[in-house]
Amino acid sequence: LTNLYDITLFIFTMSYGEEDNISSININEKDKNLKEDDEKNQFNKNVNVLPIDNILNNDDITGHKSLRSHSLYQMPDQLFDAVQKAELYLYSSNDFIIDLQVHEDNDLINFEKKRDLFDILLTKWEASKKFNVFNYSINCMYKLLDGQYNLSIQLNTERGVKRRRPLRFRALDEPFCPYRFNFTKLSPFEVLVYLGCTDRIDEDYSIEQNIIAINASPIERGHSLIIPSVNKKLPQIITPQAIRMATEIMLMTKNKDCHVLYNSLLGQASVNHLHLHFMPWPYESDLIYRKFEHIFKNLYFIRPPNWFIHCFCIQLESLQKLDEFLNTINCVANELLENKIAHNFFFTRAPPIRITGLNREEINITQHPSLVTLYIFPRKSVTGAKPPTNFNPAALELAGCMTAYTYRFFENADEVGVIRIVNDEALLDEDIIQTIIKKINISLNN
């Protein structure tokens, strides 16, 4: 009996101890969650965007009563938690700036302080450093290359060594693969804001779907990723919604140095999950000073040697022409995709497009309108993943903003050598370009 009593007492004691340990673990987890919430509140402090609690309790804002949408594409729990802790950036067409030069002149007169999307992102981007979400600290240098294209080049050795290795792709329309790296795995401190447009209540603009997150391997301070409909797990194929988002973000940004970039698969994209880059670059692309030839309607074109690679150009002249601007971009993108032509997009601000005069005319851009302009580069397909330290011409590089990942390349680079690499890896034959132009013409006429 004594032995049986001892055994019973031992079992009771062991069970009580296990339960006590579980309680301790739960308490520790609770403390950990409270600590993370405090850190997140500090992360969002002093940022001019609306917290989700304020949105849900604001009767003046309709259509955003719940973070969950009625979409059939719900987010994974990890991503849902990340987006739920982010900030909602609401905007409307009233926030759009068509001519940035006029806006700057008015600001000097009115002294009216207005929120700027990139400034908000940069504040949150800097605050996220303490959560160790970046692969390295920005430490780069620049120089200008002599030559007719006024190329700028950046040295960023850590990006070449510490960035995630680019994935290998074999097709322009390769389907999304959930087993490869994608943006549904973002942590709470990587999501900067999620976007909500009060002018539209369609599914693609429901509040939880469209986010801006940090780029863990940045090229410059504030380098972020625009991820449309992140919960839909779309492949890296440009969509009308992504084009509209890129345009609207450019229209809300007051910084002339900010650009939106897109790389297709086989066009130096490194992740097959729909995304665009939003980032500054301290030097303007020399494309904005070039003469173009008129193709049709609002579509323009430039070819070598006036620029070192073929390039379509579309410019937004007024808010009334926004739909026409978007339709032309969609038409060009669809033709490139249907004809299996890899491509890169470069959104920027530029003076009005010229079709007369010299091939290059440097003007005082402060005396001319500064309009949202898109340059589209059709290019050779690049299959497979190249070493990350190589010079790989993507959207930024084809606009004349070069990147170097080794000091040797940066020190020895000249315009002739850079253009030779672009010719080998990106420049399409003239007959292919002419065929594409004819097909785009037919499509725009229909």
Residue with tokens 């850190």: 39
Q: Cα separation of 118 and 47, whole Å?
A: 12
Q: State yes or no: is 103 an active-site residue.
A: no
CB 145 within 8 A of CB 415: yes
Q: What is the bridge-based pairing of β-strands 342-350 and 371-379? A: antiparallel
Burial of 328 (0-12, 13-18, 19+ CB in 10 A): buried
Q: Which residues pair with 87 in a beta bridge?
A: 193
Residue with tokens 């950990």: 32
Q: Cα separation of 10 and 16, whole Å?
A: 10
Q: Cα separation of 345 and 348, whole Å?
A: 10
Q: Cα separation of 62 and 350, whole Å?
A: 36
Q: Phi and psi at residue 413, in whole multiples of 5°?
A: -65, 140
Which tokens go with 445? 């006429």
- State whether residue 419 is helix, strand or coil: helix
Query: Of the residues 64, 223, 275, 310, which is catalytic?
Result: 275
Q: Rounded to 5 degrees, what angle do the CA atoms 223, 225, 228 make?
A: 160
CB 400 within 8 A of CB 306: no
Residue with tokens 């006429």: 445
What is the side-by-side order of every strand in the sheet holding 258-263?
Answer: 87-91, 191-197, 211-214, 224-227, 276-280, 258-263, 342-350, 371-379, 311-315, 299-302, 293-296
- Which of 155, 139, 128 is closest to 216 using CA atoms? 128
CB 286 within 8 A of CB 365: no
Q: Cα separation of 376 and 311, whole Å?
A: 6
Q: Cα separation of 302 and 185, whole Å?
A: 40
Q: What is the bridge-based pairing of β-strands 152-155 and 401-404? A: parallel
Beta strands (DSSP E) in 293-431 are 293-296, 299-302, 311-315, 342-350, 371-379, 401-404
The one-letter amino acid code at 43 reads F
Active site residues: 275
